[in-house]
Structures are given as C-alpha cells and as structure tokens.
Structure 1
Amino acid sequence: MSSRPIALELAHGLPSHAADTRAALDGVVDDLVALLEAQFPAGPDFPADALRTRLSQSRERLRTSECAPDASGAGRRLIGDASQAYARLSAHASAREAEFTGVIRLLRELVDGLRGDAVAFRHDLIRSSERVADLTQLEDIRTLRRALNREVDQLRQCVQQGERQEAARLSRVAGDLRKVDETMAQATGIGEGSHGLLGRPALLRDLAAEPHAHASIVICRIDEAQAIVDGHGAPVLERVIIALAHLLKGSFGNDTRVYRSSTQCVAMLLPRSAARQLAQQVRKVQARVAPEYEYERNGVTRRVVFTFSSVIAHTPGRTASNGVDALARAETQAEGVKGLSQLQTESSGLERLVDWFSSAG
C-alpha cells in the first residue's frame, strides 16, 4: 500500500449544468472510500467501525452539498478523514509487522531451544542406553558367575567323592598290607613257611649267629610294587614275592635260605661269597623272569608283569654287628634304586664302604 495520502482536488465552483460530472465524481469518491475501507483489518484492536462511520458521514456530507464552497469544504474534510484512516491503517500494519517479527523471533528462539533440548535429550538417551547396556553386562556377569559357582560346586563335589573313593581304596590297600605284615610277623625263624620263605627275625638271628665269617647279603626288591597292589591286589603281590623266591632258589640252590625282609623285598645271606661274583648270578635270575605270569581270580584268568632290582652288600663278619650293618646299608640302597631291573654291588675294604657299582638291566 502506498504511503502517499489520498488527495482530491475539487473545484471551488460547481456549474449547475454539470450534474453528470458531479455524479461521476461521487462514484469515484465512493469507490476510493470503499477501497480504503476494504483494507481495514477485522479485530478489536483496530477502530474500523468508527473510521467507517466518519468516512460515511464525510461522504454523505459531500454528496448533499449543493454549492461549490460547501462541496469544497466537504471534500477537504473527506480527504482529511481518509488520510487519518490511512495513517491509522499504516500504523496498525506496522504494529502487526513488528508483532509478527517478534513472534518470528520468539519462534526462532523456541526452535533453537527445542533443538538444544533435543540434542541434550539425545545425549541423555545415549548415556542412558550406555548405562542400560552396562547394567545388562553386569547382569550377564552375575549370571555367568552363578553358573561358574554351580560348576565349581559340582567339581568340588566330584573331587570330594573321588577323594573319598581314593581314601577307601587306600584303606583297603593298607588293610591288605597289614595282613601281609601280620603274616610275616607270625613267621618264625626256625622252620620255613608254607612257601619256603623265612621271616625277618630269622634273618637277624642268622646274621648274629655267624660273627666270624665273611658273607654277602643280597636284597631283591620288586619294582613298582605299589602298582601291582593297585592293579591286582595285595594277594597277587604275595604270589609275585613267592615266584621270586622260587627263582632265587632255582638259581642259587634249593638249600639257599630266602628271607622275607619287608613287604616288597626278599633277602639272601650267602656265607663266604664275594659280592662281585654273585652279581652275575643275580643278573641271570633277572633275565629268567617271565614276560608275564598268569593267575586266576573269580574264574577269570589274568596276567601280571613284574621285574626286580637287586643290591649286594658285603659283611666281613668280624663282629656281631657287621652283618646287621651290611643289611641296613643294602636295604637303604635298595630303597633309593631308580628304574627297572637295576643291580648295585658294594665294594668294600678294611671294614669301610668304598663304592657301589651299578648296572642296568
């Protein structure tokens, strides 16, 4: 809308014969006023009704004026009212534009704030998701820990059950060994047992009975005796000991006295024999051990394999303690033998231990 005020130049004199011209002028004024009124906004903050009333009154005054001076005055008044209405309309439009600009600014600030809130909300949501993920992981860890605890409990129960079974087995083995020891303790040194084995008391008595003759003591120890007990039982170990005694008697003569010196060992006391000379005979006995021996249990034939290692010690026999000392040395050496079918021979001189000569089977 142009800011130029509406101006109508009306002549001060109006000819009487110009009725048609006056009617045309009134039509133009009505159109201009109608055009101006059409720009009035609807609303309580704009005095549209008051301005229309004033314009209507001015237009009516102009229409009813007959003489030129009255028409000129009415026209100027109409122009003033129209200019005032236009000024009010321009001020209202400027105010609305300012309000609209303010609203736009507020909307922009609101949008910017909402955008910032949205970004902050997004960040909060991401952090919340991360915390939820952490909590999920913690729950997974708790679940895994509970599962591991159950596995550990089951494993502990299995271990305890295995320990109880092993303890029961060892108890049975210990009972079997005690029975063997009791059987040996009941043996006397006077006569031979049912299997031709003499007890340890007989061995000690024979060592003390001949203090003035040199002799050799042979200790034969079953290799891995505990494995035989675990796999076959203590009675089978007894059979192995008896089989070894028979092999020794078959090689050294049926008159040879074979003693049961411990649960795993047998011993021979050979007067006037040199330790090195006996080594070859012991080696032959080791070679005569069969690859396996059969026995029957509960109607089932089973097989056992065994080897033995030997230690040969020498006693000068000058005093009663020489033989016992030689037996102690031989048994100590036999306990430390490593490997299968070993043979160790003592070389002595002047009643002192010089060395042990070893050879593997």
Structure 2
Amino acid sequence: ILPIYPFLFVLLSQTIQPAVFSHQRTIIFRFQFLIFSFLCIWYLISSLRIYPHYLAYFNEFSGGPDNGWKYLADSNIDWGQDLKGLKKYLEKEDNPEILLGYYGSANPDYYHIEYQKLPFYVAVPRMSRKINSLNPQKELLAISVNILHSIYSPDRSLFNWLKKKKPIGKIGYSIFVYDVTLDIDAHENLAQFYFNNGRYKEAERECGRLLILDPENSIAHFTLSCLYAEQGEEELAINEYEKVIGLNADLLPRRYVYYIGEGSSGQTGEFYHRALFILGAIYFKKDEAKALNIYQKIVQLYPDSFEGYNNLGVVYEELSRDEQAISSYQRAIQLKPDFADAYFNLAVVYWSKNEWNLVVKNLLEVLRINPQHQEARKYLSLAQEKLKTVQ
C-alpha cells in the first residue's frame, strides 16, 4: 500500500490548493476545505485517543479499536505488547488470582505476575505451574486476542464460549480480562479444556472449584471420573461416574483440544478418549450395561474411533446382541480395513451362529493381515472342517 501514498498526496493537493490560494473562492472550494479540515481534526483526535496503543488502531468506520479484534488478529493487533499494562491493571485490582493465556515472547515472571496458565503453547520462556486456590476472593481470566481467536489451532472455535461474555477490561486492546470468580460456565469449559489437553492438576482444580459453586455439577463429576480412571483409582472413578449417571447419564464432554492428531493405535491423542476406554474396561468387569453406555459415548464423541467400535462390539457380544456386535465390528473394519482384531471378533460371532463360510472368510482376512496369528490358524482349520461337513 505504501506506493499509493505519493499519488494520494498529489490528489489531495489538487483538491485543497484552489480553496486555499485562489482569489476566487467559490462555495464548492470552501466546502471542500471545510471537509478536509474536519477530516484532519478527526484523524488527529483518533490518533491522540489511541495513544500509546497504535498497533491496535482501527478507524471509526470499523468500530474503532474496541472492535478491531472482531476483524483481524496477529500482527494487526496483538504482538504480546501489553503484558506490562496487565501488571498495572492487576495492581489496581489488588492483585487477584488470575488465569492467563498470554501470546508473546515476554516472560510474565519478569513482571512478577503469578498465574495459572491456560493450556496453550506460546513463546513464553518459562511455563507457570501455579494452581489457583479453590476459594479465591476474586479470580480473573486474562487472554490475548490471538489465543481468543485460536489462530494457531486447527480448531478456531475453542474460545467461542468466552467470546460471548463481556470483558470487564481490555489491556491495550490486545488482552481481554474477564471476571470468572463465580462463573460456572467458564469453569466447566476450563475443566474440560485442561483435562483433554493432559493438564490434570489444573483440571482437578477446576473441578474442585465447580463443586464448590455447584455440588451437583455433572461435568465436574464426569471429568473427575476420567481423571481417577487415568490414575488407576478405580473405586474413586466408579464413585464419580455413578454420580454422573444419576445427574445426566447422556452427558458428553466437549472436545477442546489445542493440537489435533493421532497417537498410537490410531487413537486421537485426546485424553477423554483414552480415559473413557479405561473407564469402560473398569465397568466391563463389573457392569456390562454401564460399560456399553461408556463405549456408546466414545463412538458418539469420536465417530472415527475404530477401537471404540471394536470394544462396543465386544460388549454387545457379551450381552448376546449379536447383530449389533456384527454391525459394530463391520464399522471398525470400515474405519480401519487392516484391523485384524475386528475380523477375528467377527469370526467368533459367526462361529456362534454356525455360519462357517463367514467364519472362514474373516479368519483368512486375519491371516492376510497378520500371518503369525496363532489362534486364527487354529480355528481356521476347524472352521474349514465344519464347512466341509455342512457342504
């Protein structure tokens, strides 16, 4: 855009020069001069009002700097320049406890800002591991515009729930501040965000805060059940999940995850996914109907989870619901065509139904994928004999 400026100046000079220097100042020229003067004064006032936050300048036609974040982000408004301003703001507020999602290379420790960090990767030299207290007198959430927009995440909707809330302050137009002291919705979203990104201590704190604000909060109990399952605390996990069943049996957590990718075994790497598998295995030993409910949640929440459909098929099979088991195994194979376990499980179901041609077909698929599968070899020879007898 810079090459355009000289031509604009020439154009403006041709517009103003006659109005200023001409001896025959017509009404049109005077009107042009007044308009130009008005625009200059307007520009001067806008420049003075934005001082010293020039990076976040937006003209009044776009709604001014207060609304610039709705249109642009990154270098247009947020380079992490307002951390010092945040420190001053916190001092005026008598240094309340704070949740901080800061984008920038400055170190909050330099300004003696103590904070519980939101689960984001940013270019901060040191990552705070502070955990806020369960009963803060006042708790604020401060978040940079770039993080609010989730511009470095594949999922740009991560903080849509926060965009709906009105900030109590804006630091240099690049850091928004919210009061979340008594905000149940904010703590619900944070608990799920922390847990699904593997930040267990922060998730546990958010759940504890939720249960103080709302002792029957189903999201807190659900997240705690998953947390305890991950930690091998089976009885505590069951105790929390039983509360969920009583409060909201159909509850599904929100899939807040900053990085989206696949881990080992083709699982998503999201921690709710992993924890629900562990919880399902715990219940499978005790209550198959409740285990079924958990695996149904997995495939609802993660429709591409081939292992979820395979385990769902196992539970259906144990409950003698063969047709649903077959359907689940077939879905697992659609998602992962070389999934030997699902083919073998299909063969087992067809064995119970004496459908020997399908048993043979699926066992051959198992051996195609894994020629060393000993059980498949053993049962294939038996199934082939059964098939010859039937024929």
Q: TM-score, normalised by structure 2?
A: 0.22
- Structure with higher strand content: 1
- Higher RCO (CA-CA < 8 Å; seq separation 6+): 1
